[in-house]
Amino acid sequence: MTSKVHVKNDSIKSSKAYLGDLIGGSLMIRESQLISELLLKKPTKEEWLDAIVNQNILQKRSDASAKRNAATINKRLEGLGDEYIEQLAFGSTELTTQLMFAATLLNSTMLADFMRNVYNDAKRMYREVLDSTDWESFWDDRSRLFPEYTQMTASTTYKISQVAFKVLADAGYIESTRSKKLQNVYLLPEVKTLLTVMDREDIIAAMEV
């Protein structure tokens, strides 16, 4: 399979930048709202740690898990404006979900390319489901462009694929990670407006199916 690598505004400098923090976890909607509220307060490093560790606002069982989840969400929201983060923090579940999915695609060009090149093609071909071979073929294609991916362990590449499908399930694009049945998602006008202002029609194209 040959598919297009999408480059927006600047060249992709490394395989790490292309992958983004996809391995960090799923959309974590509830946690993302809490982190968004915290970010709007412009916390210092000390205030951030106090909220994540001492107050345990994410309600995690360990400090390490709380720090890891908070860091992943923070990376995905990095560079987004206050209006975006405010809508994510206080919007409806549907709005928050779509905004967090968009933020994840902005962070991981790889996943955005998967949506444009594989998911959207599957919809156009009236397929009912995705399967693991869709991701495997896509990953092999990316590995030819970024040979560093071939150096990853099998467990790491498997985890990346699992997280990718979990993100799609969380966002409503597939019914579940088990069935991988394709579903219709209608992009909210608020999300489209924010992405248009950001000049990210490429992300709109990845989300509109």
Q: What is the pLDDT of residues 8-47, one digit of tens each?
A: 434 356 899 999 999 999 999 999 999 999 999 999 999 9
pLDDT of residue 11: 39
Contact status, residue 122 vs residue 174, Cβ threshold 8 Å:
no
pLDDT of residue 209: 78
CA 113 to CA 127: how far, in whole Å?
18
pLDDT in tens, the chain (209 residues): 445 555 443 435 689 999 999 999 999 999 999 999 999 999 999 999 999 999 999 999 999 999 999 999 999 999 999 999 999 999 999 999 999 999 999 999 999 999 999 999 999 999 999 998 999 999 999 999 999 999 999 999 999 999 999 999 999 999 999 999 999 999 999 999 999 999 999 999 999 97
Which pTM value belongs to this model? Answer: 0.91
pLDDT of residue 10: 42
What secondary structure does DSSP assign to 21-72, as a single string?
A: TGGG-S--HHHHHHHHHHHHT---HHHHHIIIIIS-TT--SSHHHHHHHHHH
Enumerate residues 6+ apart whose C-beta is below 8 A from 197.
none
pLDDT of residue 8: 47
